[in-house]
Chain A
Amino acid sequence: MVVVALVVAIATYLTWLALRLDRLAARVAAARGGLVTQLVARAQAAGVLAERAALSDLADSVARVRAIHPVLLAGGPLDRGVELAENALSRSLRSGEVAAAGQRFPAELHSVDSEAARVALARQFHNDAVRDLRALAGRRLVRVLHLAGRRPTPGYFEIDDALPARGDLPGLAS
């Protein structure tokens, strides 16, 4: 009787752990999707600014990330190569050239800045989800019993997405 109860309790606990892992994997997948969508949106806005203001450096960075976005949209990994390309775009967006162009194209620059701010948020949501998943998947019981299945452990996505200082966003008076 006691043995049966114990087995049921253990089985219930393991099922619950597996359910949590599934749920976290779904959250990571959703966050990844949101992040990729946002990277594409930033590139799109940056492309518009580069074209209108005829900024060749920015156009080059945009072309570089655009070349890899189809792979990401098809489920390709957010790896080092992606980080480097997106970092290069972040750097171009902080250049003096872009700030100067913003004088003539304020609407375009504002749109780039809002999309870039959302990239920073999407990246935080993604990395938070990854951290929660890794914490649970890293538990000894989960590893020993292979509860996470064959799913690869997702990695963090680290890029420099700090926004250039162009005046405060509303409500950010901190």
Chain B
Amino acid sequence: MRIGIACPYTWDVPGGVQVHVRDLAETLIAAGHEVSVITPVDDERTLPPYAVDAGRALPVRYNGSVARLLMGPVSAARVRRWLREHDFDVLHVHEPSAPSVSLLACMLADGPIVATFHTANPRSRFLTAAQGALQPSFEKLRARIAVSEAARRTLVEHLGADAILIPNGVAVDDFAGATPLPGYADGRPTVVFLGRIDEPRKGLDVLLAAMLQLATTVGDARLLVAGPGDTAGLRARLDPRLRERVDLIGLVSDADKPRVFASGQVYCAPNTGQESFGIVLLEAMAAGTPVVASDLDAFRRVLDDGRAGRLFEVGDPGRLAEVLAEVLGDPGGTGPGSTAERVRHAHTVARSYDWPTIAERIVGVYRMVSGDGRVSVASN
């Protein structure tokens, strides 16, 4: 099929939606489809051959993160030209509620349009206020997909529309069999954290507090923190007792991500809320690293109620330290309830989210909505 995908956020700024769009596009291309992506981008040279530049986006605070958005006559002209030049069988817009390229594409196109909703935000003032303005564009959507139950609920509550659930995919094979980063192959008990360090809801503070307590039970335990943010500022305010135990390596490339997981004996997701989907958990599970995560709905679901990883009470550093100590001190059995058994089950779960499987379900949706005619430029 000829598939057009619109990505609302700046391509060369790391983010879940961008990664989703890239992996989906590449999986579809590998399956023999013709795919073109349109996206805002800062440095056009970072675009892969299948992507088209929609212009530069402005940073705006949205839903607790910084989103970079784009609406304007120049981008509109580029989107219109992109639609005209490609003659798509289906247009797939991501997060069309953000004022950016996806919404533009939705406004400008006619025909089979599919939307994927990523955000879970039960009290979005923006969505509530914008509902009336979005409706004319949203009523063109032939099918709505939500990547998580929480994202689906957000959609139902704010826009009164249902969506089918197709979760995020994981490139399982990219994560298996990686070698640890230099300096982490020595077997010293290592906890891995991956995510923005200055976003409170990612929960790094909970994990740092737990590390202080863990130091008393697992003497040589260390923490590897990978993710963007103000590393110098964090290092300065770190408890002196943690200085030798916490390594801040900043943003890692996608290519190094599997190596980050391979560098730890346990991956920890201490998030305190608003997490729509545990994509990083699935990556750790695909890598074969034991997972310890806060007991949020999304995480509980991905971890199969604790059978594929350990859960601890949200925001409780004491409990987290205990669970980490148990996993790090695992005696090495393979029976029921053992870490090895959980890791094995985690890999099976991760497999069911493998990108080719997920992309096939998305193509099924494309086929169902694209029976009659192509995507064209709307007449209004």
Contacts and interface: CB of A to CB of B under 8 A. Distances in A.
Interface of A: 16, 19-20, 23-24, 27, 30-31, 33-34, 37-38, 118, 121-122, 124-125, 128-129, 131-132, 136, 168, 170-174
26 contacts: A16-B380, A19-B380, A20-B136, A20-B139, A27-B142, A30-B112, A30-B372, A31-B369, A34-B368, A34-B369, A38-B368, A121-B365, A121-B368, A124-B162, A128-B143, A131-B160, A131-B161, A132-B139, A171-B166, A171-B352, A171-B357, A171-B361, A173-B167, A173-B301, A173-B304, A174-B301
B136 A170 contact: no
Contact of A128 (B110, B161, B368): B161
Interface in B100-121: 110, 112
B253 interface: no
Contacts of A174: 149, 165, 167, 301
B134 to A, nearest CB: 12
A171 B139 contact: no
A33 to B, nearest CB: 6
Nearest to B361: A171
Nearest to B378: A23
Contact of A34 (B110, B371, B379): B371
B357 A30 contact: no
Main secondary structure of the interface of B (DSSP, over half): mixed
Contacts of B379: 19
Nearest to B167: A171
B139 A173 contact: no
A170 B349 CA distance: 10
A38 B149 CA distance: 26
B165 A136 contact: no
Contacts of A129: 142
A124 B369 CA distance: 12
Contacts of A118: 364, 368
Contacts of A168: 352
Given A170-B352, A173-B353, A125 B380 contact: no
Main secondary structure of the interface of A (DSSP, over half): helix
B140 interface: yes
Interface in B332-380: 349, 352-353, 357-358, 361, 364-365, 368-369, 371-372, 379-380
Given A122-B368, A170-B357, A128 B304 contact: no
A128 B162 contact: yes
Contacts of B143: 121, 125, 128
Nearest to A16: B380
Nearest to A12: B380
A118 B361 CA distance: 10
Given A16-B380, A19-B380, A174-B167, A31 B142 contact: yes
Interface string B147-190: 00100000000001110111100000000000000000000000
B257 interface: no
Q: Which 3 A-B pairs have the closest CB atoms?
A: A132-B139, A170-B357, A173-B352
Contacts of B369: 30-31, 34, 125
Given A124-B164, A172-B352, A23 B140 contact: yes
Contacts of A23: 110, 139-140
Nearest to B168: A171
Contacts of B142: 27, 30-31, 125, 129
A24 B139 contact: yes
Contacts of A124: 162, 164
A30 B140 contact: no
Contacts of A121: 143, 164, 364-365, 368
Contacts of A33: 371-372
Given A131-B161, A173-B349, 17 more contacts: A27-B142, A33-B372, A34-B369, A121-B368, A124-B162, A125-B368, A128-B144, A129-B142, A131-B160, A136-B139, A171-B167, A171-B357, A171-B358, A172-B352, A173-B301, A173-B352, A174-B165
A24 B302 CA distance: 37
A170 B142 CA distance: 24
Nearest to A30: B372
Nearest to B139: A132
Contacts of B165: 172, 174
A73 to B, nearest CB: 13
A25 to B, nearest CB: 11
B151 to A, nearest CB: 12
Among B353, B358, B369, find the residue whose CB has the most chain A CB atoms closer than 10 A: B369
Contacts of B136: 20
Contacts of A171: 166-167, 352-353, 357-358, 361
A24 to B, nearest CB: 6
Contacts of A125: 142-143, 368-369
